[in-house]
Amino acid sequence: MSALVAWLLAGALALGEGGRAGETGTRGTPEALIFSDAEPAEGSPRAEPFSDEARAPETESSASTESSHARSSSEGPTEASVPPDLESSPDFVGPPRELASRAFILLGQSIEAGERLRLDWTISETFAGETLRTSVHVLRGLREGPTLCLTAAVHGDELNGVEVIRRLLVRLDEQRVRGMVIAVPVVNVFGFTAGSRYLPDRRDLNRFFPGIAQGSLASRIAYSLFHEIIVHCHALIDLHTGSFDRSNLPQVRGDLDIPAVLELTRGFSGVVVLHTPGERGMLRRAATDAGIAAVTFEIGSPLRLEPTEIEKGVHAIEALMQRLKMLPRRRGLRQDPPPVYYGSRWVRSPAGGMLMAEVSLGERVRKGQRLGLVIDPLRDRSVAIEAPVSGRIIGMAQNQLVLPGFAAFHIGIGGSEEALLEAVGTGKQEVAPEHDRLDPALGDPREPEAVPEDEEMSEEAGGG
């Protein structure tokens, strides 16, 4: 399979004509969406796949919030001026005749080539009836290319991703970017302002995608985000952290059974890759069901801003954009192959008490190795927690008070990419539990306390 460097223009056109997995009733990404170095055959027509017309399928508009904007059809071609010095520069990205020409419409606003805009996305209303909005940043390069979407703070207490997006946008130059970046730094404004993972009604927003226009608060927000913004993406990175005083090693989670997702994960330089199909209702699951290559990018701990982890996240996304040819190659930016884990195992506390870890995040451990102690402070005794398998610590709880059964350490079970591909091909891989189920304090998503039983749990809500 060729390197992950660019979308085929013809493939993107096929996507616009209805070649989405969600429309055929099967999960997965159409063959035309796989990244490729190949150029269209001489004499073949060139598509204009990155206009609003080609990207967004027709959807039912939401009548319940101000967030619905009528999507205008693309206007006629406009001139995209390219500075002569940039055109001749060896750092300029893209073949000379692939100038972005059509207007792109998002949230009722037209974005021209070489332009950067901050748009307002209307989320909902407050208890006082005031309109609640958040920012959507759009950066469109002078040259055609893929549309990369970034989202953060779907869980309102997960802050690292917000700063990753901010730093990345500061560093990007629309004059040198090929394609487009659409970023929503704070999706769950309710939770973000309250320092809470959840929405005011205690629902987890990342359980309700792609949403229902007339559903609960969570379902309406999910519907609006998905149908007004996400449908424009060729690829999606949804940024998260660990939850409930747990920290995650920077890691990309995706359904590696989908070829385009597997290719996408190869672009994250040196970041751990974990194979997980995703639970129904998650943003990335809804995106892949709709034919969009999507991954979750976990970085660090909740309710904290961790500069080292944040910088790793920015570096990884820059490396991905270089591999997609959205950015020119930069000297000194290493592109290490990502370590891939096709399975994982949570290690739980055997007793209640004070958890004291003896290993560090990212450390490799052996089967039988002591990972930490659970100390009974009243009786001055302790119980050891041992590794049931060999692997690498990809997630762990911070030292704290725990109850029996508390998920304390997350071990990635690794192997070479060849072993992963073989395991995926034979269907024998050990699939890790997905995002919130990797944080067992939330309980099983099918239980009423984790996902309230209402209209969002119908088959209609779970579809792509």
Name the residue with higher pLDDT: 158 or 42.
Answer: 158
Percent of the residues in the chain that have a pLDDT greater than 90, as a whole number: 62
Token pair listed for 354: 């004070």
Q: Which residues contact 247 (CB under 8 A, 6 or more apart)?
A: 241, 300, 301, 361, 395, 396, 397, 398
Predicted confidence band of residue 330 (pLDDT cuts 50, 70, 90): confident
CB 413 within 8 A of CB 395: no
pLDDT tens-digit map of 257-316: 999 999 999 999 889 999 999 999 999 999 999 999 999 999 999 999 999 999 999 999
Q: What is the mean pLDDT of the chain?
A: 76
Name the residue with higher pLDDT: 81 or 403.
Answer: 403
Predicted confidence band of residue 150 (pLDDT cuts 50, 70, 90): very high
Residue 448: what pLDDT?
A: 30
Residues of the chain with CATH 2.40.50.100: 340-432
Residue 270: what pLDDT?
A: 83
Name the residue with higher pLDDT: 94 or 177.
Answer: 177
Name the residue with tokens 């407050």. 126
Output phi, psi for 160, to 5 deg: -55, -40
> ∠ CA 337-248-323 to the nearest 5 degrees?
30
C-alpha span between 152 and 314 (Å, rounded)? 13
Beta bridge partners of 348: 407
pLDDT tens-digit map of 420-431: 444 444 444 433
Residue 353: what pLDDT?
A: 97
Neighbours of 23 (CB within 10 A): 13
CATH number of this structure's domain 340-432? 2.40.50.100
- How would you classify the pairing of strands 246-254 and 340-348? unpaired
Predicted confidence band of residue 100 (pLDDT cuts 50, 70, 90): low
CATH class of 9-37+49-323: alpha beta
Predicted confidence band of residue 392 (pLDDT cuts 50, 70, 90): very high
Looking at residue 264, its amino acid is L
What angle in degrees, to the nearest 10, is found between the helix axes of 160-171 and 307-323? 50
